[in-house]
Structure formats: structure tokens, C-alpha cells
Amino acid sequence: MSVGSVVKQNIWVTTLSRDPMTVGAAVAIAMINAVSNSLSTYSSVTSISSASTEAGFPQPALLIGSTIYVVGILTELVAGIQREQFKADPNNKGKMCTGSLWSLARYINY
């Protein structure tokens, strides 16, 4: 899951984001992500914090959680691509993106 998040973030930073990112900001974000991912990974492999009580594979909780993660990360990436395509059209200058996946969104912070 960490790899999926990194790939999605790298696609966003290199192709979708219109804001410049300084080296200092990139290093700070990388460090925060590394610490967060390490803590999440550690907590997922310890039995005391595991949601699963089964020792065998495949575990239903793992399959369901992984499916939700993949759907969420792909939805976020596709929505970002759709928004960038909308903003790239000069006819949409000053308009809000309300089509495609964005038609389902409410109370977006940006």
C-alpha cells in the first residue's frame, strides 16, 4: 500500500500539480511519509494491533481492506486527472469542475 501511495503521489506531483514544490518541502513531505508509513507497517504486522484473528491466507479483512484501498487510491488519481483536463481547457477558466467524478463531490476544500 505504501508503494501505491508513493506512485500516486509522484504522478500527482510530476504531472497534475500546478504548484511548484521546493526541495525543502519535498524532503519534509518525504520524511513525514516515511515515518507514517513505517509506523503503519509496523502496527499492521504486530498481532496486538491486527484486526484479523485468522492465521491463514487469504484473510477476508485483508482482502476487503485492500480492495477498499485500491478503489480509493484509483478514484483519487482519476479525479485528479479529470480535474487537470478540465482546468487545461481555456473555456473553463474561472469555472468549477462539476463533471465526471467531481459531480459526486461535496464540500471540496480547494
Give the tens place of pLDDT for each residue, 15-62.
888 788 888 988 998 899 889 888 888 877 776 766 666 667 777 877
Q: Which domain holds residue 70?
A: 56-110
The residues near 65 (Cβ < 8 Å, ≥ 6 apart) are 51
Whether 13 and 31 share a structural domain: yes
Q: Are residues 100 and 77 in the same domain?
A: yes
Contacts of 59 (CB under 8 A, 6+ apart): 52
Of 15-24, 72-81, 96-105, give the range with the top mean pLDDT: 72-81
pLDDT (average), residues 91-107: 84
Whether 74 and 106 share a structural domain: yes
pLDDT at 12 over 60: yes
Q: Domain total for the chain?
A: 2
Q: How far apart are CA 45 and CA 50, in angstroms?
A: 7
Crossing angle (nearest 10°) for helices 2-11 and 60-88: 0
Residues 22 and 41 in one domain: yes
Q: Residue 12: which of 63, 73, 96, 95 has the closest Cα? A: 73
Same domain, 110 and 62: yes
